Amino acid sequence: MSGTANVNEMALRIGDDPSWAMVRTHFDIKSFGVNAYIADEPGVRVIEEHDELGERAGGHEELYFVANGRATFTVDGDEIDAPAGTFVFVRDPAAKRTAVAEEAGTTIVIAGGKPGEAFSPSPWERNAEGLVHFANEDYDKAAETYEQFLDEQPGDAGFLYNLACAESRLGRKESALKHLRECVETEERFKENAVADPDFDAIRDDPEFLAITGQAGSAGTRS
Amino acid sequence: MTEKAYEVVHLDELDRYPVDDEGLLWRPVRRRLGITAFGTNAYTAEQGTERVVEEHHEEGGHEELYFVASGRATFVLGDEEIDAPAGTFVHAEPGTRRGAVATEPNTTILAIGAKPGVPHEISGWEEIFVAFGHYRNGDEDKAREHLAAYVAEHDDAWQGHYNLACLEALTGNGDRAIGELRRAIELDPQAKEYAANDSDFDRLRDDPEFPA
């Protein structure tokens, strides 16, 4: 559809993460990827460190545009001061990239696509559809969405993780633990996310949660 | 030689090519950074009263996303008129008529576009815009050199010949203009229709050899 929207009005805040404006899904854009992230305060990691190589990444070349504020990018080990108006184009899918906001309200617009191929959304972006429900605190709807995604893509670690989050929020302890276990067995890096994620507060002290996240020996010593 | 993993450029460092006589500046982004997966450019209206997005629809089937990076503009999108301050996204499907006029000084709009379902192909008009940018900046030779190089590389694209014909007509080289226009029409008869309504050819219109 043709249409219009303001970046600040589109932005969803999910937990402690920077606000995320799901621009591509909002307009149902089919030929390139586009999103925006907004940091409320300086020091917020406005672009998570990532490369474009993993199974969940799209192998995209990415263009970052600092629309507002100021950020410090680190790309391929180099630090880049990026005031509003700066474009950072990361051509190499293998290059690690991240950015930290230096000012409140720092806004970064990102466009991406894979050279020589028709665009298809990165697998991780499907998560967006479910994350909307987290932002609205509608955990029933979130759980339902990720169950449906898992029917389509069984065993996807990202979907399992988010399903476990929703179930923990809903007090469904057993299924939350089951799905989190399946998730970290597929992708170990989610252990770290789970330890810091407030979605798991309800089951954080459960011995099984401690075992799944590799903290079994440290029960009771969490500070 | 291996390409660098990344490139950095600030909006203020981008080239400025005049696109019309009203003050609209084209600021090539894709071309500067070597992006290949999608098209992207910025447009700047310095005075704040002039057109900042030409009114058009996308004949090539591109969908486009505009982002108001600074200033403010009034967009037309289909039948709608939209006040768009900095921070506004405007999405236009290929067939939707769109355009924008700046309402504040130093309004800059970023445009991102590509065609759904196919690998991105770099738009030929970028090089044509560069050539006419040189012409409007008073550098006729550079404009001709740039277009001639484009035509040499894309001899079977009517747009190159057509635009070279425009340049030759504007600079008083009637014979060369007619030759290039003939070649453009040979490649695509549509060029004849365009030429019939294109003021660039006004001074050639009465020439018996003029093919449109």
Q: Residue ranges of the domains in chain A? A: 7-117, 137-217
A residues 117-176 closer than 8 Å to B (CB): 117-119
- Is residue A219 predicted with pLDDT exceeding 50? no
- Is residue A8 predicted with pLDDT exceeding 70? yes
* Residue B67 near residue B109 (C-beta atoms within 8 A): yes
Three-state SS annotation for B1-60 = CCCCCEEEEEHHHCCCEECCCCCEEEEECHHHHCCCCCEEEEEEECCCCCEEEEEECCCC
Tell me how many residue pairs between chain A and chain B have CB atoms under 8 A apart.
Answer: 157
Residue A81 forms contact with B (CB below 8 Å): no
A29: closest chain B residue by CA: B63
Give the pLDDT confidence score for residue A217 in this predicted structure.
61
Give the pLDDT confidence score for residue B91 in this predicted structure.
96
CA atoms within 13 A on the CB side of A40: 10
Give the pLDDT confidence score for residue B199 in this predicted structure.
93
Name every chain B residue with its beta carbon within 8 A of the beta carbon of A60. Answer: 37
Three-state SS annotation for chain B = CCCCCEEEEEHHHCCCEECCCCCEEEEECHHHHCCCCCEEEEEEECCCCCEEEEEECCCCCCEEEEEEEECEEEEEECCEEEEEECCEEEEECCCCCEEEEECCCCEEEEEEEECCCCCCCCCCHHHHHHHHHHHHCCCHHHHHHHHHHHHHHCCCCHHHHHHHHHHHHHCCCHHHHHHHHHHHHHHCCHHHHHHHCCHHHHHHCCCCCCCC
CA–CA distances in Å: residue B109 to residues A52, B1, B64, B193: 27, 34, 12, 31
CATH no. of A7-117: 2.60.120.10
Helix (H, G, I), strand (E, B) or coil at A124: helix
Alpha carbons B30 and B126: distance in angstroms, whole number: 9
Give the pLDDT confidence score for residue B186 in this predicted structure.
95
Mean pLDDT score of chain A: 90
Q: What is the pLDDT of residues B1-16, one digit of tens each?
A: 457 999 999 999 999 9
Domains annotated on chain B, with CATH? 11-114 (2.60.120.10), 125-204 (1.25.40.10)
Helix (H, G, I), strand (E, B) or coil at A91: coil
B160 burial type by CB count under 10 A (0-12 exposed, 13-18 middle, 19+ buried): buried
Q: Looking at residues A14-24, what average pLDDT do you find?
A: 83
For residue A65, give the nearest of B86, B92, B110 by CB distance. Answer: B110
Contact A32 B38 (CB under 8 A): yes
Q: Looking at residues A157-167, what average pLDDT do you find?
A: 94
- Is residue A17 predicted with pLDDT exceeding 90? no
- Is residue A220 predicted with pLDDT exceeding 80? no
Give the pLDDT confidence score for residue A88 in this predicted structure.
98
Weakest mean pLDDT among A77-81, B108-112, B157-161: B157-161
Task: Mutation target for B interface from A64, A76, A87: give the one with most B CBs within 10 A.
Answer: A87
* Residue B37 near residue A115 (C-beta atoms within 8 A): yes
In this structure, CATH architecture of domain A137-217: Alpha Horseshoe (1.25)
Contact B11 A86 (CB under 8 A): yes
* Residue B130 near residue B17 (C-beta atoms within 8 A): yes
φ and ψ at residue A123, rounded to 5 degrees = -55, -40
Contact A1 B93 (CB under 8 A): yes
Contact A65 B89 (CB under 8 A): no
* Residue B104 near residue B77 (C-beta atoms within 8 A): no
Burial A102-136 (b: 16+ CB within 10 A, else e): beebbbbbbbbbbeeeebeebbebbbbebbbbbee
Helix (H, G, I), strand (E, B) or coil at A141: helix
Q: What is the pLDDT of residues A27-49, one digit of tens each?
A: 999 999 999 999 999 999 999 99
Q: Looking at residues A41-64, what average pLDDT do you find?
A: 90
In this predicted model, which residue has the larger pLDDT, A62 or A221? A62
φ and ψ at residue B206, rounded to 5 degrees = -90, -5
Q: Looking at residues B55-84, what average pLDDT do you find?
A: 93
A61: closest chain B residue by CA: B37
Total number of residues shown for chain A: 223
Contacts 24+ apart (CB under 8 A), B144-153: B144/B168, B144/B171, B150/B124, B151/B180
Q: What is the pLDDT of residues B13-38, one digit of tens each?
A: 999 999 888 889 999 999 999 999 99
Contact B7 A91 (CB under 8 A): yes
Name every chain A residue with its beta carbon within 8 A of the beta carbon of B84. Answer: 4
The confidence band for B56, taking pLDDT boundaries of 50, 70 and 90, is confident
